[in-house]
Amino acid sequence: MTTLSQKIVKILAKKKLNISFAESCTGGMLASSITSVSGSSKVFNLGVVTYSNQAKIEILKIQKKIIQTYGAVSRETCLSMVKNLNKISKTSISISITGIAGPKGGTKEKPVGLVYIGLKKKNKILIKKYFFKNKKRNSIQKASVNKALKLVLSILE
């Protein structure tokens, strides 16, 4: 059985496209899912885990004001992450993930399981909001990676 990651690597290679990731709540799990595939070095360019707000500001050049106003887990931060990652990596496709994997850290407005995934391909930008209810930390991370991979696949096919 071909995994999503294998399928993506194969299609990216065939179309001569490359990909990069900026991850927060998934802690590198998305990059790992791609780099575990043989041949991924032809398509995978960059993966950064900007877990802290400081890393988001210093490495991805997210404006401090965006994080202060909207929070690290927001549509606005996810959008800035994917746009700035794309500037840094210059890849065909850029993906950003920010969310609350729990079990702590959630609020009424932003509960555990809230995840934003951003995708940029050429001039097209997509920001998706997901809510993974009643899941444990690892399940939220895996579900986020799975959604990100499906999102990538949907724009490739």
Place of tokens 């690892």: 138
**What count of Cα atoms within 13 Å lies in the side-chain half-sphere of residue 5?**
17
Q: Per-residue pLDDT averaged across 12-29, rounded?
A: 98
Q: What is the pLDDT of residues 36-87, one digit of tens each?
A: 999 999 999 999 999 999 999 999 999 999 999 999 999 999 999 999 999 9
Decide if pLDDT at 2 tops 80: no
3-state secondary structure of 26: coil
Residue 130 DSSP label: E
Q: What is the pLDDT of residue 103?
A: 94
**Among candidate residues 144, 92, 141, the one with its CA nearest the CA of residue 117:** 144
Q: What is the pLDDT of residue 1?
A: 59
Query: What's the domain range around 24?
Result: 4-156
Place of tokens 């399981």: 113
Length of the chain: 157
In this structure, the number of other CB atoms found within 10 A of the CB of residue 87 comes to 11
Instruction: State the CATH number of the domain containing residue 60.
Output: 3.90.950.20
Q: Is 111 left (phi over 0), alpha (psi -120 to 50) or beta?
A: beta
Place of tokens 């930390």: 137
Q: What is the pLDDT of residue 135?
A: 84
Q: What is the pLDDT of residues 116-125, one digit of tens each?
A: 999 999 999 9
Residue 7: Cβ-neighbour burial (10 angstroms; 0-12, 13-18, 19+): middle
pTM equals 0.97
Gap between the Cα atoms of 108 and 71, Å rounded: 14
Sheet holding 114-121, edge to edge: 44-49, 19-23, 93-99, 114-121, 124-131
Q: What's phi and psi for 132, nearest 5 deg?
A: -100, 100
User: Structural domain tally of the chain?
Assistant: 1
